[in-house]
Structures are given as structure tokens and as C-alpha cells.
Structure 1
Amino acid sequence: MTTTVVAPVAPAETVRGAEVTTPRRRVAAWLGLIPFGAYVVLFLGVPAVLAVASGFFDGSGAFTFANFAAYANPAILQNFFASLWISALTAVLGAILGAVICFALLGTRPERMLRSTVDSASSVLAQFGGVMLAFAFIATIGVQGVLTKWLVSIGITPNIFTNFGGNGPLLYQIPGLVIPYLYFQIPLMVLTFMPAMEGLKSTWAEANATLGGTRLTYWCRIGMPLLAPAFFGSLILLFANAFSSYATAAALISQGGIIPLAIRQQLTSETIVGVSNVAGVLALGMVVVMIILMTAYSALQRRASRWRR
């Protein structure tokens, strides 16, 4: 005798209700994004569009491409070059030093005090910038800074802090921006790269050891190839962070020298009248660079997320 078991069938209205619930949840999720979307549009999108669009008009409001002649100005090109090399240098140094810190933290437990302290400090220092950061370095290594005065008191003349290259203190020159920029670049690298380091599984190292591999073999053939997309993605993020920084440089350097300061100079110049719209052209150049960087960053992040899953 054969017994047939029939699975219960859910009522039609229940199935229909489930089908209706999913779209409702999706609508609710999109409605929840409305406040954030409105914030992005009003405070980021609209100002960016207006700033860039101003570069296509002259002082009288007529459409023109004449403002793009600014890119033939050697001073503007020098500002772009300075922004690029400052951003590249601080990104590379910040990425290397931050990766070393992340590697050192791998030997600690996430719940322990050391890891919590480093994570908390990185979160705070990565956002510490602007006038406050500039004042902190002026008070420390400025001409009358605490460290500078102490070195002088013990018989050491720190030319790097008082008269670097015959052009005054290093802190108030374009190369001196490397020092305060690293202050927030390194913590940012720790925040962005540490999750990738934590994603390395101990079983991979055990399998490497079982097959006769050394630690060098593990890092060259397993660790580094897996971490490369995350590392270069973080490197691009650090470059973009330095390239768009303005407040710290503005508090330390009175004249132009990098593109954000050149834009300020075009907007507030009292000696050259009618060049405010050139700032829009310079802003457009920065936007193009940032779009390229963010596109590359997104591609690397997608590649890095594959092995994390």
C-alpha cells in the first residue's frame, strides 16, 4: 500500500500578499533615501553644476569658450602639476605607512584595547583638518613652535622649520604641505585597508605551509595578489583626498600654488578684474580628474570584493 503525502498549498491570497509586500518594501526603501538624495542634490550637486557651468560664460553672461585659455597659462599648469605631485607623494607615503600599521595590527585581536584605540584614533584623525590642523602644526613646528623653540634652546638650528631653501619656513611652502597631509592620509589608509587585511584567512597560510611554502611565498603568491586591488583602491582614494583638500593649505599658504588655492585666487583677486569665471574652468579640470579617479576606485573595489565574498 502506497501513501501519498501532499504538501500543503498556501492560499492564493497569501501568495498574492507576498508578491505585493516586496514592491512595497522597495518603495519604502526608496522613500527612505529621499532625504539623503535631497541633501546630495542641494548641497553637492547644484553647487558643483553652478561652479562648473560658470566657466562657460564671460563677465557679461554670454556663452564663451575663452575661459579655457587659462590652461595655456604657465602658472595654472604649474599649479596643476603641484597638486598632482603633492597628492601622489602623500598618497604613496600614506598608503605604505598605513599598510605597515595594518600589517602590525593583524597580530592583535579586534576586541582588545590596542585595536579599539587605533581604530578610534584613525576615525578621528582622518577627519581632522582645516584651520585646526594648520594651527596645530604652526604651534608645533612653526617659527615660534614648541618643537622649534626647544631645538633652538639645546643648540640645534632647525633650518627646515625656520628658513628652508632661503624661502622661509618649510611649513608655509608647497612642499611643506606633505607634513600636515600625511597627518590625515595615514589614518584614512588604516580605515580603508584594514578590512581587506582582516579578510585574509588563516587557512590560506596553513595550506601554503602544508605544501612547503614559506612566508615569502605566501605573501608573494597569495597575500599580495589578493590585497593588490584593495591597496590600489585605497591609494586612489588617498590621492583624491589630497587633490581636493583646500582648508589646510589655505590656512598655511596665502597665495596660489595648488589648484584649490588658484581657484580661490581667481575668485578673490583684487588686482585682476573679470577672471572669476576662470575659476569654473579650473573646477571643471578638478571634476574631470576626480571622475577618472572615482571610476578607477569603483572598478578596483568591485574586484576586491570578489574574494571577500
Structure 2
Amino acid sequence: MTVVTPHPDPVAPAPGVRPVPASRRRTSLPGRDLLGVVPFFAFVVVFLAIPTLVVVIGAFTSDSGGFTLDNLSAVGTSYILEAFGRSILLSAVTALVGAVLGGLLAYALVTAKPDGVLRRVVTSAAGVLAQFGGVTLAFAFVATIGLSGFVTVFLQDNLGINIYSHGVWLFELPGLLLVYTYFQVPLMVIVFLPALDGIRPQWREAAESLGGSTWQYWRMVAMPLLAPPFLGATLLLFANAFSAYATAAALVSQGSPIIPLQIRGALTSEVILGQQNLGKAMALGMIVVVALVMWLYAVLQRRSSRWLG
């Protein structure tokens, strides 16, 4: 004879526990889970969506308020294209130099103890220096290697070395290359370090157990895995340098060698009036370039997350 034990009611309260009256049960309000992200969406709308919309509309608006393509046509003039070219060159060079130096520094940190003092100090310093930009960074370089900086004066008075014998390069494009590299290297450390941490020691042990050399491990295992995040981090550095403004504005007082300074001149010019919408057209060009770069970055990140996630 088979005795069938009734299955316990899944909603029945445990023995000794009094059920909560229906009137006191908490009901979930529609959209309640989204309340926590409302401040974030508000921030994105106010500081990203609305300014982008203003730029896009202004790029196609004439001085009289009508629709026009003259602003976009003016972006094709020689001096604006040259500014775009210098901005792309500045961003590409500093991104490559920052990626190489920052990648090597990140690899050195991976070989150290994960919870060691050295790694914690370097990562903390990288987090601070990556955000150390704008007028503060420009002043630091002017005070250090400017025309009257203490390093410049020391080299001139004690060693007879004049670092400005071929021109005042700090306040031109070469100076921007040096200053931008200063904050690109620590940013690369922060971005690329998680990818290096994702490389599992078991993969190297497996390669060695199969008779593979160190070069074969890096060429056939580590490098294919690290290539997408490395390229993605380089693209992120490019976008970071391409959109930087405050540091260049503080260093370069005359002329507009890069496109952010050209936009400033178009928006604040007192010589040629009616260039506000031309500045918005140039800003639209910057948005297109940054959007393309960040799209490629997202593609590479999705590819690398399959293995390093």
C-alpha cells in the first residue's frame, strides 16, 4: 500500500509563523524599481542630450533662424580642416604614447602583489592624475618648464641649457603633446589594468604543459586576448584627448591650433560676428568623430568581454 504525502503549500507560512494580513502587505508600485536611476537619467538629459540637441539644431540654422547648410559648408574651409587635422594628430599621438607607456606600467602592476602597497599606491595615484587636467595642469607645466619655470631657470643657470632655443614650444602644438600625454598615461593604467587582471594563470600553465615557449604563449594566447581591450583603451584615450579643451585654452593664448579652440573663437569672437552657428557646426563634427570612436570602442569591449569577463 502506497502512502501519498500531500505536497506542502508553497505559499503557506512556516509552522509557528503568523501570516501577514493582506491589508498590511506591501504592494509594489509601477516603476518603483526605476526611481533609483532617475537622477542619472536627469543628469544625462540636462548635460548631454539637451546640449547635443542644441548643437545639432544650431548647425542647420541660419542667422535669421531658417534652415541652411551654409554652416556645414563653412566647416570645409581650409583653416577649419587644418584645425581638425591637428586635433586628430594630437589625439592620435598622445593616445598611442599613452597606451604604450600606460600598458607597460599596468603590466608591471599586474606582476606585483594584488593587495600589495605598491599596486594600491600606483593605482590611487593614477586615478588622481588621470583627472588632473584643465587650468591646474597647465599652470603646473608653466611653473615647471615655462619661460620662467624653476626647471627652465635651473638648466639655464647651472648647465647652460636653453630648452627654448628653437622657439616657445610649450605654448604650441608640441607643448600640447607633452601635456596631454601626462594625463593619458594614468588613464590607460586605469582602463587597461582590468583586462590584464582577466588573463588567467591557468592559460600560461596550459601552454607550458604543451611545450609552448613564452613567446608562443604571448603570440598565440595573451596577445590575441589583449588586443581588443588594448585597442579599445587606445580609442578611449583618443576620444579623451580629442574632446579636451580647458588645458589647451589655458596654454594657448594666441591662435587656435586645434578644433576646440576654433569653436571657442567662433563663439566668442568680437571681430567677426554671426559665427555662433558655425561653432555649432564644428561641434557637430566633433560629436560625429567622438561617436564613431566610441562605437568602435564598444564593439571591441564586447569582443574582449567574452574571454576576459
Matched, 1:188 2:187: yes
How many angstroms apart in 2 are the aligned matches of 1:213 and 1:26? 58
How many angstroms apart in 2 are the aligned matches of 1:26 and 1:218? 53
Alignment of 1:107-122 (within 5 A): 107-122=111-126
How many angstroms apart in 2 are the aligned matches of 1:61 and 1:226? 52
Equivalent residue, structure 2, for 1:225: 224
Equivalent residue, structure 2, for 1:60: 64
Unaligned runs of 5+ in 1: 14-20
Alignment of 1:176-255 (within 5 A): 176-254=175-253, 255=255
Unaligned runs of 5+ in 2: 14-24
Matched, 1:298 2:298: yes
Matched, 1:34 2:38: yes
Q: Relative to structure 1, is the Cα distance of residues 39 and 212 closer, same or farther in structure 2, using a 3 angstrom cutoff? A: same
Deviation at 1:163, TM superposition (A): 4.2
How many angstroms apart in 2 are the aligned matches of 1:44 and 1:194? 28
Alignment of 1:1-309 (within 5 A): 7-11=7-11, 24=28, 27-159=31-163, 162-164=164-166, 168-254=167-253, 255-309=255-309
Flag the structure with larger Rg. Answer: 2
Deviation at 1:158, TM superposition (A): 2.7
Q: Is the 8 A contact 1:163 1:170 kept in 2?
A: no
Deviation at 1:214, TM superposition (A): 1.1
Q: Relative to structure 1, is the Cα distance of residues 163 and 47 closer, same or farther in structure 2, using a 3 angstrom cutoff? A: farther
SS of 1:212's equivalent in the other structure is coil
Q: Relative to structure 1, is the Cα distance of residues 290 and 210 closer, same or farther in structure 2, using a 3 angstrom cutoff? A: same
Equivalent residue, structure 2, for 1:17: none
Deviation at 1:12, TM superposition (A): 8.6
For residues 155-207 of structure 1, give each alpha carbon's deviation from its aligned partner in whole angstroms, at most 9, with x where no partner exists: 33233xx243xxx3111001221111011100010000000101111111111
Q: Is the 8 A contact 2:75 2:278 kept in 1?
A: no
How many angstroms apart in 1 are the aligned matches of 2:133 and 2:113? 30
Which structure has more helix as a fraction of its residues? 1
How many angstroms apart in 1 are the aligned matches of 2:4 and 2:209? 52
Q: Is the 8 A contact 2:88 2:242 kept in 1?
A: yes
SS of 1:33's equivalent in the other structure is helix
Deviation at 1:7, TM superposition (A): 4.7
How many angstroms apart in 2 are the aligned matches of 1:182 and 1:238? 10
Tell me the number of residue pairs that the alignment of Structure 1 and Structure 2 aligns. 297
Q: Is the 8 A contact 1:126 1:188 kept in 2?
A: yes
Aligned-residue identity in percent: 47
TM-score by length of 2: 0.91
TM-score by length of 1: 0.91
Q: Is the 8 A contact 1:151 1:158 kept in 2?
A: yes
